[in-house]
Amino acid sequence: MRPTLHPRLVNGRFGDPALFVEALHRREAILFDLGDLSPLSARDLLRVETVCISHMHIDHFIGFDALLRVNVGREKRIGMIGPEGLIEAVGHKLHGYTWDLTHKYAEDLCFDVRETSGAAARFRFKASFVAEPFHEPFALPGLTLDWAVLEHHGPSIGYALAEPMHVNVWRNRLEERGLAPGQWLQALKAAVRDGAGDETPIALPGGEAPLGSLRDLVSVEPGQKLAYVTDVADTSANRAAIASLASGADLFFLESRFAAADGALARERAHLTTRAAGEIGCAAGVRRLEPFHFSPRYEGAEERMLAEVREAFQHLPSAAGRG
């Protein structure tokens, strides 16, 4: 399968959490968490249109200012989603500055902030970022975003990003049946993607045919799935919720803050050990596990941390996620 989603950890496995995700053929990028964003170029920051926040501990949220700074004075809409309290936290961030010159700009910068509970507010530059009521549902065209409310010290939201299945047309089979390619193939693909029944009529260049008689013209591949979970306590409720959220993911970014031998510390800080992360990745049946958010206390021991995760996960390739 040709990968469509291209994620990269902005600060590697040890630095602040921030996962920059590009999708093939899309200019817009998605960020999971807003840790230190200084390694991102202004060009990359300007591409961010969706931000998914796990929780607002400083190592996951301090990058908001970098994102704000580069976008001020531009026509832009940034959708944000996160736990309860996100609206208030964004409001506080924005109101740490004076916005008395906003009327001089024609461009408007908008933060559309949603909490997973359903609460939402819009902060507009030209309204000096005073919170406004907002009711548009969350949408990420061409992709789906699922989330789970997990336990850390407070709530921490885990995410799964997936693309729809790929429907590919066999050109040679079209030719064999004397069908000219054209716009009608989009309707055929959409019907297959939506799981329409065999009787569904599909308009062809010279008439109409039931979907069932056209299925051999296409092949179907599952879309790519990427999951991101960080800052979670090792509880049975979390393990079950994470395994179900990340189930079958092609790529799973999962925190592994502490070494296997430091389980007591992990419990106290409501984080996972390498071993717990490997076990959860294995239970979720993910294809590739990318551990991250290693504590700085293990600086220089990255290989050991990876080996511990791998041992519990079993299938982790030794060179996973270098660079």
Q: CA-CA distances (angstroms) from residue 315 to 1, 222, 256, 283, 307?
A: 19, 21, 16, 12, 11
**Least gap, CB of 114 to Zn ion (angstroms):** 20
- Closer CB to Zn ion, 57 or 239, in the complex: 57
* Helices and strands counted in the chain (H then E): 10, 17
Amino acid at 99: W
- Closer CB to Zn ion, 59 or 112, in the complex: 59
**Least gap, CB of 270 to Zn ion (angstroms):** 8
Amino acid at 111: F
**Least gap, CB of 32 to Zn ion (angstroms):** 12
Rounded CA-CA distance 228/160 in Å is: 6
**Least gap, CB of 48 to Zn ion (angstroms):** 20
Question: Which residue in 265, 251, 316 sits closest to 294, CA to CA?
Answer: 265
What is the four-CA torsion angle of 266, 270, 276, 281, rounded to 10 degrees? -140
- Closer CB to Zn ion, 55 or 225, in the complex: 55
Coil, strand or helix at 181: coil
C-alpha angle 277/19/93, rounded to 5°? 115
- Closer CB to Zn ion, 131 or 232, in the complex: 232
**Least gap, CB of 251 to Zn ion (angstroms):** 20
- Closer CB to Zn ion, 59 or 262, in the complex: 59
- Closer CB to Zn ion, 59 or 234, in the complex: 59
Give the DSSP letter of residue 165. Answer: P
**Least gap, CB of 149 to Zn ion (angstroms):** 14
Give the DSSP letter of residue 25. Answer: T
C-alpha angle 129/130/134, rounded to 5°? 95
Q: Which residues bind Zn ion (CB under 5 A)?
A: 57, 59, 231
